[in-house]
Chains A and B, each alone.
Chain A
Amino acid sequence: MSAIPVQPTPIRRTFGEWLRRNPITLKEMRSRMRGRRAFAVLTVNALLLGGLVSLIYMTYAANTQTFNSPSNLQSLGKLIFATAVGMQLLITCFTSSSSAVGAISSERERQTFELLRTTLLPARSLVLGKLAAAVLFNLLVILSAIPIASLSFFFGGVTLEEIAIASVFLIVTALAFSSIGLFFSSLLRRTSQATAVSTVVTLILLFGIPVFMLIIQGLLSTMTYYGGSRTGMTSVEAELTRNFVIWLLISISPISAGVATLALLLENKTALSMTLTLSNGTSVSYPAPWIAYTVVYLLLSVLLIALSVRAVKRVDK
């Protein structure tokens, strides 16, 4: 065997090149596609979406009026598309966090983590490789739903803008929830612990925040009613504060952000901003919830990735 000089890592690479050269991504993708799990997830996803869309279609088809008017057909198209995207959003939240939750902790449990740590693979490449594999797998799940969601195109009513927003929404969700799973996987020693914590966080983000938002809305309405008498704010200021807090809460839950964006598209016919009218008649505009959602979840992903790299890099003390 002749001596092989260890190649220094090239500094600049395209993302595609980096992805092809990252051994972790390749290994993870190979392992995922080799097992039965990937096939099972794709099949269950297609069955769930297909079943739901069929149900909607059959309900509409039972009404003979549906096929008489183009606007009824467009409504059917919109409903199929919104249902498919909404369902895919829920599935993506859970599959993303669960597909990344064993990324680091399972290496520890399998006793392969130390072997990786003594190679020249930087902690950053290990974390990003695991994340890329999880996100790519979830994108595959999302892609597998396209044939079902595209049934809506037969009926019309779905705009290019809506397709673009839905795509951004799903991709950001896949990235963010994979980052959440990965973060807990790097932080906790056992996969079972990481799974439990990650599931709780996912449930809080999905359902806890909308419930919290309703409670806060009730409390803030009271505050607005009393105006400045107790808080020292004028009623307009109190109303502005309430609206901002509610807008923020709407934007940080995938469900509320998704529903609010859908309502915005249906009612206001605009996808970029949300206008709220105060009791004195003044209109206040906020960025559309999906924009805030994208920004917040991208920032959260970056933070969680950085923390995961730090946890992986840590030398035992």
Chain B
Amino acid sequence: MPPIIEIKDLSKKYGKRTAVNQLNLAVEAGEIFGFVGPNGAGKTTTLRILATLLRANGGEAFIAGHSVRKAPRGVRGVIGYMPDSFGIYHDMRVWEYLDFFGACYHLREGERKRLVNDLLELVDMTPRRDEMVDKLSRGMQQRLGLARTLIHDPQVLILDEPASGLDPRARVEIRELLVELARMGKTVFFSTHILADVAEICTRVGIIEAGRIVATGTLDELQRGLATQRAVHISVLDRATEAQEFLSALPGVGGVEAHVEQNQQQRTRLEVKFTGDDAALSAMLSGLTARSIPIVHFSEDSQNLEDIFMQLTKSSLD
């Protein structure tokens, strides 16, 4: 099946400044794809091109097979777009707001009535149905905005910083809502600065820097791709020297440092620099146990998304 979002060599320039530079990306249906990058990396520009609000200078993008350049109306029918900061109408009630946008998608009155009720229930706003939109909190407005993007039952949600400016509780609620939407079969493509959200809910991540995608994949794939050397921590009760000699002789081991833990047990912690794969790591543990070395702890340091992000976007700081 072709990807639901396909971006091919997409470029956008503002005068002499290149905002998006030959960007290529594919997102499969049903994914929650996190689009991460530093400020000015080209996230919003890319999202606005996908939402048919901005014309690219080069390349092409397709959503559910519709070209954003040649068939913008087709694209609008299959996407729900929520910009970073979006306005609200001050003189509208919550249900009127959703009903109005439903009418903008040519939905019939009866269908709109049912959909408005369903959506308010989905975003947990049924009790606020008759409140004026401008009286809602920022978190509530964001949830209403999300409900608005769903009014025509789109296949793809394009969300620009959906959790920005929200308090921790509202952020968690939005996150849960995105997972629920993915469960309903929607593809969620969202940009964010909040790496914890990405790590928590995204099935895949794309890191963009200076208008180019520098890495895509699952969090595991990114960790593996970036790790040049693994750090393994082993704690032994006794025979530390023997363990150190055995480990140093193994292929792929770059060095072993021993530290005596300053506690009652007086364990020795060995820090092993290692470039082997998972099988070699398992063989390392088997070798130690075969020699009856008393191991009490065996673990590997894992990079978190923040480390990966910092490493990949380092050049923007240089």
Interface of A toward B, CB cutoff 8 Å: 1-4, 6-9, 21, 23, 26-27, 30-31, 34-35, 107, 110-112, 114-121, 315-317
Asked if B76 contacts A119 (CB within 8 A), the reply is yes
B115 nearest in chain A by CB position: A4
Asked if B106 contacts A1 (CB within 8 A), the reply is no
Is B79 an interface residue, CB under 8 A from the partner? yes
Supposing A4-B107, A118-B76, A120-B77 touch, asked if A317 and B101 sit within 8 A by C-beta, the answer is no
A5 nearest in chain B by CB position: B153
Q: How far is the CA of A154 from the CA of B96 in the complex (A)?
A: 46
Asked if B87 contacts A120 (CB within 8 A), the reply is no
A2 nearest in chain B by CB position: B153
Stretch in B50-58, B226-234, B243-251, B293-301 with 4+ CB within 8 Å of A: B50-58
Asked if B55 contacts A120 (CB within 8 A), the reply is no
Q: How far is the CA of A30 from the CA of B111 in the complex (A)?
A: 21
Asked if B153 contacts A23 (CB within 8 A), the reply is no
Asked if B52 contacts A315 (CB within 8 A), the reply is yes
Contact of A119 among B83, B85, B105 (CB under 8 A): B105
In the complex, chain A residues whose CB is within 8 Å of the CB of B143: none
Q: How far is the CA of A110 from the CA of B91 in the complex (A)?
A: 12
A119 nearest in chain B by CB position: B104
A126 nearest in chain B by CB position: B104
Asked if B88 contacts A112 (CB within 8 A), the reply is yes
Per-residue interface assignment for chain B, residues 73 to 108, with 1 indicating a CB less than 8 Å from any chain A CB and 0 otherwise: 100110101010111110110001000110111111
In the complex, chain B residues whose CB is within 8 Å of the CB of A121: 104-105
Q: How far is the CA of A209 from the CA of B50 in the complex (A)?
A: 48
Per-residue interface assignment for chain B, residues 29 to 72, with 1 indicating a CB less than 8 Å from any chain A CB and 0 otherwise: 00000000000000000001001111100000000000000001
Asked if B73 contacts A23 (CB within 8 A), the reply is no
Contact of A120 among B48, B104, B153 (CB under 8 A): B104
A4 nearest in chain B by CB position: B153
Contact of A8 among B88, B106, B119 (CB under 8 A): B106
A-B pairs with beta carbons under 8 A, tally: 98
Asked if A27 contacts B89 (CB within 8 A), the reply is yes
Q: How far is the CA of A110 from the CA of B83 in the complex (A)?
A: 13
Interface of B toward A, CB cutoff 8 Å: 48, 51-55, 72-73, 76-77, 79, 81, 83, 85-89, 91-92, 96, 100-101, 103-108, 111, 115, 118-119, 122, 148, 150, 152-153, 184
B55 nearest in chain A by CB position: A315
Selected A-B contacts with CB under 8 Å, 22 pairs: A1-B118, A1-B122, A1-B184, A4-B153, A6-B105, A7-B108, A21-B103, A23-B100, A23-B103, A30-B91, A111-B87, A112-B89, A114-B53, A118-B79, A118-B81, A119-B76, A119-B101, A119-B104, A120-B77, A315-B52, A315-B72, A316-B53
| Least CB distance, A132 to chain B, in whole angstroms | 15
Supposing A1-B115, A112-B86, A315-B55 touch, asked if A31 and B106 sit within 8 A by C-beta, the answer is no
In the complex, chain B residues whose CB is within 8 Å of the CB of A317: 54-55
A27 nearest in chain B by CB position: B100
14 additional contacts (CB under 8 A) given A112-B87, A116-B104: A1-B115, A1-B122, A1-B150, A2-B153, A4-B107, A27-B92, A30-B91, A31-B89, A112-B86, A115-B86, A118-B81, A119-B101, A316-B53, A317-B55
| Prevailing SS type, chain A contact patch | loop
**Ranked 10 nearest A-B pairs via Cβ:** A111-B87, A23-B103, A119-B104, A110-B87, A112-B87, A121-B104, A7-B106, A118-B81, A31-B91, A315-B55
| Least CB distance, A127 to chain B, in whole angstroms | 14
| Least CB distance, A115 to chain B, in whole angstroms | 6
In the complex, chain B residues whose CB is within 8 Å of the CB of A107: 87
In the complex, chain A residues whose CB is within 8 Å of the CB of B148: 115
B97 nearest in chain A by CB position: A27
| Least CB distance, A233 to chain B, in whole angstroms | 53
Contact of B83 among A2, A8, A111 (CB under 8 A): A111
In the complex, chain A residues whose CB is within 8 Å of the CB of B103: 21, 23, 26
Q: How far is the CA of A30 from the CA of B53 in the complex (A)?
A: 28
Asked if B73 contacts A120 (CB within 8 A), the reply is yes
Q: How far is the CA of A30 from the CA of B107 in the complex (A)?
A: 19
In the complex, chain B residues whose CB is within 8 Å of the CB of A111: 83, 85-87
Supposing A27-B89, A31-B91, A112-B86 touch, asked if A3 and B153 sit within 8 A by C-beta, the answer is yes
| Least CB distance, B81 to chain A, in whole angstroms | 5
| Least CB distance, B84 to chain A, in whole angstroms | 10
Q: How far is the CA of A119 from the CA of B72 in the complex (A)?
A: 10
Supposing A6-B106, A315-B52, A315-B54 touch, asked if A115 and B87 sit within 8 A by C-beta, the answer is yes
In the complex, chain A residues whose CB is within 8 Å of the CB of B79: 118
Q: How far is the CA of A95 from the CA of B52 in the complex (A)?
A: 35
Asked if A34 contacts B91 (CB within 8 A), the reply is yes
Asked if B76 contacts A120 (CB within 8 A), the reply is yes
Asked if A7 contacts B107 (CB within 8 A), the reply is yes
Q: How far is the CA of A21 from the CA of B108 in the complex (A)?
A: 9
